[in-house]
Amino acid sequence: DAGVIQSPRHEVTEMGQEVTLRCKPISGHNSLFWYRQTMMRGLELLIYFNNNVPIDDSGMPEDRFSAKMPNASFSTLKIQPSEPRDSAVYFCASSLKTGKDTQYFGPGTRLTVL
C-alpha cells in the first residue's frame, strides 16, 4: 500500500493568497484527520471526517480554514486568505475508523506564508 499521500510536500506563498492542501487516505480507511504541527502548540487536530462526513471541526482556527472530503479517496484543506501565522506543517492521517484503530500519517505539507 502506498500509505497516506499528501501534496504538495512544500508550499511557499505570499500573505493573502489561497492555499489548498491535498490528501489521499489509505484505501479502505473510513476516518480522515487533518493536523497542524507548530513548535508552540505541537500536533493539533483541526478536523476529522468519518465516511466523508465532517464530525468535529472545532480545531479549525478560523473561518479562513475550510476542509472538504468529496469522496472516500480525497480530501482538501483550504486556507483563504493565508497569513504568516499559518506557517506550519500540516499532516493528514487516516484510520479504519475513529476508535482504537491506528492512525497512519502522511509525510506532511510544510507551508510557509511570507
Query: What residue ranges bind another protein (CB under 8 A)?
Result: 4, 33, 35, 41-45, 48, 50, 55-56, 91, 93, 97-100, 102-108
User: DSSP letters of 40-73?
Assistant: TTEEEEEEEEETTEEEE-TT--STTEEEEEEETT
Rank residues 33 and 65 by Cβ distance to another protein and give the closer one. 33
Dist CA 88 CA 113 (whole Å): 9
The answer to whether the CB of 113 falls within 8 A of the CB of 82 is yes
User: At closest approach, how far in Å is the CB of 57 from another protein?
Assistant: 12
User: At closest approach, how far in Å is the CB of 104 from another protein?
Assistant: 8
User: At closest approach, how far in Å is the CB of 16 from another protein?
Assistant: 28
